[in-house]
Amino acid sequence: MHMVAIGGSDAGISAALRAREVAPGAEVTVVVADAYPNFSICGIPYYVSGEVTHWRNLAHRTYSDLEAAGMRLRLDTTARKVDVAGRMLHLTGPDGAAEDAVPYDQLVIGTGAVPVRPPIVGLDGLGPADGVHLLHSMDDTFAVMRTLEETGTGSAVIVGAGYVGLEMADALSERGLAVTQLERLPEVLPTVDAGLGALVRAQLEGHGVAVHAGTDVKRIDIAATAIYHGMTVDEVSDLDLSYTPPLGSPGTPSRWAPRPGPATRLPGNPPPHPLAQTPAVRPRRPRFHPVPATHSPPRGPPLSRSS
């Protein structure tokens, strides 16, 4: 019996391990779109903060551990087509060109969720080179770290105040950035009772995070010249963000800046923090809330294969 699992995070790896447990003789293949199987994506903010001292420590199991469990890993490989009648899975490898078909007896699709790109005007044209990041994968994480370590930015705006947004506010504050957090719903952590969300918000504000709930981001622009020390929120709590390119890019140093308009001006950003001169970030305890065991990545040996 040959089982193929598409997806190398918790669902796909768990299915593969269980298949080997109930049928030790089964052949199991796991198709992973990137080079980081069984990584704790929930632990990314704690790598950004420095509590997890190396990105390899985010791995629940090493590459060797997974192979020893009896699974074959197809890394940097994308599933393109499922031939249900023929029980064939069509794949493209790391080069994106060559395609091969893998036969299967059982197929598990455990690719997880697709991150939401909020309908913000200008977002689709911006990316890490502009200092604008969407955080979902290890590659996204490395892009964030490059921005932090190479541009010397002193401030950050986080759009969203769910679990990951709150953890990133903690992480970036710990690194010395001035953090502004925006949430379109009336309170942070909107999946819980509003009273609990208010307590969390008070903790954020008590640690220097500027929180603006009920604020809908409508547009992000690149500001080519002038630097304004603050942001502008209009009368209906919609927010336009204007951003200056990071150090090394055409334009001015990396800073969030306001769009002019009749509105309340938020506190200004401090001078950039010299992150580029900081050789390492020391581990520490989270300041806002304890980290549940499920969020604490294991500190096992590094992966045995380089990525």
Q: Which of these, 126, 80, 71, lies nearest to 100 by C-alpha position?
A: 80
pLDDT (tens digit per residue) in 20-46: 999 999 999 999 999 999 999 899 999
Q: CB of 281 within 8 A of CB of 294? A: no
- Quote the tokens at residue 254: 């990396």
The Cα–Cα gap between 179 and 83 comes to 48
pLDDT in tens, 190-215: 999 999 999 999 999 999 999 999 98
Judge whether 210 and 181 are in contact, CB under 8 Å. Answer: yes
Residue 26 structure tokens: 């089964």
Condensed to tens digits (0 to 9), the pLDDT of residues 254-286 reads 333 333 332 222 333 333 332 222 223 333 433
- As a whole number of angstroms, the distance between CA 179 and CA 163 comes to 16
Domains and CATH numbers, the chain: 2-109 (3.50.50.60), 123-274 (3.50.50.60)
The H-assigned helical ranges of the chain are: 10-22, 44-49, 63-68, 138-151, 163-174, 194-206
Lowest mean pLDDT among 71-80, 169-178, 180-189, 215-224: 215-224
